[in-house]
Amino acid sequence: MTWWRRADWLTRSGLACLAVLVLVSVVGTVFGIGGDPDAMVGPRLAPPGVDYPLGTDELGRSMLPRLFEGIGTTLLLSTLAVLVTAVLATLLGVAAGYRGGWLGEVVLRLVEVLYSFPTIVLAILVAAVVGPGRTATMCSIVLITIPLMTRVVRAAAVTVSERDYVTSAVISGARWPRILVRHLLPSLSGTIAVQGTYALSVGILVEGGLSFLGFGVQPPQSSLGALIQQGSTYLLAAPWLVVAPGIVLVVAILAINVFGDGLRDGLEPREARSLV
């Protein structure tokens, strides 16, 4: 709460944009605003108007409910994948940073191998192994975001493990699971939260890129990347098919990055601003 009171208007605006996107998606999907996203309700490629606020696609489906569905799919897949990343990266980073030794070396080498792959190449490899769809999208996001978060958590764990209160706990005979839960994790929570916001923006980008290439969310399901991919075929004849999901995708990523910057400034003030 103290951090929230000190947050600037940009941070608050970023969080507000995210909240609006989530609310719009939930309300639009639950209450069926705009109708069934899979129903053919009008002429093909109809421009935006009173009956169809965002126009219709190549099959005559209203773009408004499909956009609601696409926002929810993208945010849900990215959020679930980032939660998995946060858990795995925390376990691996703490193990490598606090325990060290051969375990730390193995974790670092595995992370470096994953980090050496170009993002889109790794995503396509995962899709080729798992098969196109939601599972491939989530696995790709996890494998792409886990290396950086693991390295950052490990570096923070090394620093925290050298502090006096951790040393005192070790001298007093506390076992390492207790030290992990009582001392390390509370001190690392800020780092994990900041890295989580960055990973979420990367996850949305990965979902968009993978679906655009045809390896992500498959028809008739929709996501922001899938909507852009489907609309790109009719870019000259019906540009509104790309404009709406593209704007939402950009706004979501910007809002997450702005909020993440504000979160970092609040939780790591010594690194955020100069005193000059």
pLDDT tens across 260-271, in order?
A: 888 887 766 554
Q: Is 56 helix (H, G, I), strand (E, B) or coil?
A: strand
Which pLDDT tens digit goes with each residue over 49-96?
888 999 999 999 999 999 999 999 999 999 999 999 999 999 999 888
Which pLDDT tens digit goes with each residue over 210-227?
999 999 999 888 999 999
Task: Give residue 1's pLDDT.
Answer: 55
Task: Give residue 2's pLDDT.
Answer: 62
Task: Give residue 276's pLDDT.
Answer: 33
Under DSSP, the state recorded for 61 is B
Q: What is the pTM of this model?
A: 0.89
Instruction: Answer whether residue 110 shows pLDDT above 70.
Output: yes
Give every CB contact of residue 262 below 8 A, 6+ residues apart in sequence. 7, 8, 10, 11, 12, 14
* Per-chain mean pLDDT for the chain: 87
Specify whether the CB–CB gap between 258 and 10 falls below 8 A.
yes
Specify the residue for token string 């169809």: 52
Specify whether the CB–CB gap between 82 and 256 falls below 8 A.
no
Task: Give residue 187's pLDDT.
Answer: 83
